[in-house]
Amino acid sequence: MNITQQLTIEHHDVKEMLHILMNIAARIEQTKELNAEHFANILEFLKNFVDKCHHGKEEQALFPALEKAGMSSKEGILSYILPEHDQGRKYVHEMKEAFEGYKKGDSSALLKITEAIYFYSRLLQHHIDQEEQHLFPMAEKMLTDEVKYNLYKQFEDIEERVTGPGVHEKYEELIKDLSQIYAETAESE
């Protein structure tokens, strides 16, 4: 498997979670309720899998390799891809803060959660599309086989250090379970 295929497979899991999040937001709007356990697990997924693992591979390995190969981080695609990671972190932080408020009885927290979900989901969907349609094909052309092999090894190291053994499987199971629970929201709309 090449490096961009690995990242694209991870994008699939992220997109599945974005779909779940959008269904949760719709359910919040309909019922004014949130399953705290489910949402806590989703926040963990966003923090550990999306940010630390997936974005970690891009920020610590792929993007520096692309810059070394001649891609500018000051203009072009990298100039907005990396700031989008920071914007995504901001939205996840907003979700987390609002969730803490929700658990303490803040009546405005659900609105804040749904707003952050909508902004985050739109941002990440666009971000993923840009990476898959533009950045990844450029990476495949720009990077030598040796660099790609080294990146693959770096990705494995990040997986081991950041994610740990069995965690991907745990998150895949979480996505599967939550997809079944929140599927009816999308179907009923």
Q: The CATH number of the domain where 168 resides is what?
A: 1.20.120.520
Q: Indicate the number of domains in the chain.
A: 1
Residue 90 has pLDDT above 70, yes or no: yes
Return the C-alpha torsion angle 148, 150, 155, 156, nearest 10: 130
pLDDT (tens digit, 9 = 90+) per residue, 98-111? 999 999 999 899 99
- Specify the amino acid at residue 117: I
pLDDT (tens digit, 9 = 90+) per residue, 9-57? 999 999 999 999 999 999 999 999 999 999 999 999 999 999 999 999 9
Residue 66's CB: how many other CB atoms inside 10 A? 24
Contact between residue 40 and residue 99 where contact means Cβ atoms under 8 Å apart: yes
pTM score of the predicted model? 0.92
Contact between residue 86 and residue 172 where contact means Cβ atoms under 8 Å apart: no
The range of the structural domain enclosing residue 53 comes to 3-188
Contact between residue 163 and residue 170 where contact means Cβ atoms under 8 Å apart: no
